[in-house]
Amino acid sequence: MVFNMRISVLRLGHRGERDKRVTTHCALVARAFGASEIILSGERDDKVLESVKKLDKKWGGGFKIRFDANWKKVIRNFKKRGAVVHLTMYGTRLDEFKKPKKPLLVVIGAEKVPACVYKMADFNVSVGSQPHSEIAALAIFLHSLLGNKPLYAKKTGARLKIVPSPRAKIVKKV
């Protein structure tokens, strides 16, 4: 397991009002499952950026979110120091994917992903061979890569923490 691996997520094609909740959920999954940042490309949406920053401030962890309209440049720059993994239905099966030991940029789409992404990626990895949500694909991929450890890791700088309980909702201030 490679929990210390640096993982960034690039969400292609955010579409304002239509994708607000889905993009926020992509960021929440990325954060909870061990990624260190998400980069949004498409329409700039300051509400999503602020919402995720506020959540991270409250629950801790130092997760970053930012907007970059030039997703091709993001991919090209990342390839200089790491590997690019595009999650799709059409790639190498997830259970056959060999994890590189360098930082990863995980690319997920909002709308139809341009064909050049398949060529730019170092790995096109399929999470199933049926149509599926990018949120689910990201969660499954990160869990496969990192296991359970990020899900229960203590987040630095947290103001709140959940105390596990079989019957109650217990949230404590840190």
Which tens digit of pLDDT belongs to each residue from 68-112? 999 999 999 999 999 999 999 889 999 999 989 999 999 999 878
Full pLDDT tens readout for the chain, 174 residues: 345 679 999 999 887 777 788 999 999 999 999 999 999 998 888 999 999 999 999 999 899 999 999 999 999 999 999 999 999 988 999 999 998 999 999 999 987 899 999 999 999 999 988 888 999 999 999 999 998 888 888 888 889 989 999 999 999 998
Which residues is 14 bridged to in the sheet?
42
Radius of gyration of the chain (CA): 16
- Specify the CATH number for 7-173; select among 3.40.1280.10, 3.40.50.1820, 3.90.1150.10, 1.10.468.10: 3.40.1280.10
Pairing of strands 92-93, 160-162: unpaired
Q: Which residue ranges make up each domain of the chain?
A: 7-173
> CA-to-CA distance for 109 and 3, rounded, in angstroms?
24
> CA-to-CA distance for 159 and 174, rounded, in angstroms?
5
CB 63 within 8 A of CB 24: no
The CA-based dihedral angle spanning residues 95, 40, 119, 85, taken in that order and rounded to the nearest 10 degrees: -20
0.85 cut: is pTM over it?
yes
